[in-house]
Amino acid sequence: MNLAEAIRRGLIAEAIPARPVRARSVKELARAGLVSVRVHEAQLQNTPFDYAAAAAREGIEMGSRIRCFWLGPTEEIELSLRRYRGSDRGKCATSGFGYHNVNAIMERTSFAQLAARGWPMSDGRPVHTGDSVPHSDPRWPRSCSCGYAFADDDEWQCNPDALFRRGDTGELVTLHAAPAGAMWDADWMGEHHKGPDWIHLCVRTPGGEWSVDGPSYQDGKVQHERGWTRTGTVPDVTANPTIHIPGKYHGFLRGGWLEEC
């Protein structure tokens, strides 16, 4: 996954907007990226994402401590099929995105199995395409939850999302589905912002993603090129200063615990 793809998929939020974000809608990206706990589930159900309800389901309370855990890369894939139509063809009240959008999980498979089927690959990884699954395949969603029937020229996406293995439970999850406390190496960010252990550490807070090794921002402008210092080995990391995602989250990362201020 490259940087543009990570931004498009909402994996990069307000804590780490990079240059390309300005050319797009920061608001839209933040909305997609700042929701976190079960956004993938919400997408699948085509319901507006309710962070408070999701946090309650996860047992996360305001002011609570959240234990962090490592997400290690695997060569497993969750393949899903997405149809959507940009806001130019009317607004949508039911998808949770403001525009017509449906995502359907198709299967779990692996890099190797997709490659064997002839799926396009880049650096040994399956890429996101529009037509690797024929458009006649009945597993493609045909209509939005609001009833809008997708047209042929609406967007088609075959999304092979990498699965990560939780270091604490061994469960396989996509980045979208990983709950608050997840930590991972955003290696697609390139070498510029790697930390002392040569990873680009990202943490999912209850308010969205936080690039610990990235720049910090104030009023949309870069405040410090390297916003935080960190010590400790993942997931037992301590970072300074606090993380503040305006209107969403304010907390510490101390010894591998997210502690809300």
C-alpha–C-alpha distance, residues 222 and 212, integer Å: 14
Q: Which is nearer to Zn ion, 148 or 164 (CB)?
A: 148
Q: How far is the CB of 169 from Zn ion (least distance, A)?
A: 35
Q: How far is the CB of 253 from Zn ion (least distance, A)?
A: 38
Q: How far is the CB of 3 from Zn ion (least distance, A)?
A: 29
C-alpha–C-alpha distance, residues 80 and 197, integer Å: 33
Q: Which is nearer to Zn ion, 88 or 191 (CB)?
A: 88
Q: Which is nearer to Zn ion, 127 or 146 (CB)?
A: 146
Q: Which is nearer to Zn ion, 66 or 92 (CB)?
A: 92
Half-sphere exposure of 55 (CA within 13 A, CB side): 21
Q: How far is the CB of 97 from Zn ion (least distance, A)?
A: 8
Q: How far is the CB of 155 from Zn ion (least distance, A)?
A: 13
Q: Which is nearer to Zn ion, 91 or 117 (CB)?
A: 91
CA 34 → CA 100, 144, 208, distances in Å? 20, 23, 4
CB atoms within 10 A of CB 23: 8
Q: How far is the CB of 143 from Zn ion (least distance, A)?
A: 8
Q: Which is nearer to Zn ion, 82 or 100 (CB)?
A: 100
Non-local CB neighbours of 195 within 8 Å, separated by 6+ positions:
201, 212, 213, 230
Q: How far is the CB of 10 from Zn ion (least distance, A)?
A: 18
Based on its alpha-carbon atoms, the radius of gyration of the chain, rounded to whole angstroms, reads: 18
- What residues line the site for Zn ion (CB under 5 A)? 92, 95, 100, 144, 146, 148
Phi, psi of 150 (to 5 degrees): -65, 140
Non-local CB neighbours of 184 within 8 Å, separated by 6+ positions:
70, 71, 164, 175, 178, 201, 202
Q: Which is nearer to Zn ion, 148 or 210 (CB)?
A: 148
CB atoms within 10 A of CB 136: 6
Residue of 99, 93, 107 lying closest to 28 (CA atoms): 99
- Any idea what the Cα angle at residue 150 is, between residues 48 and 40, rounded to 5°? 30
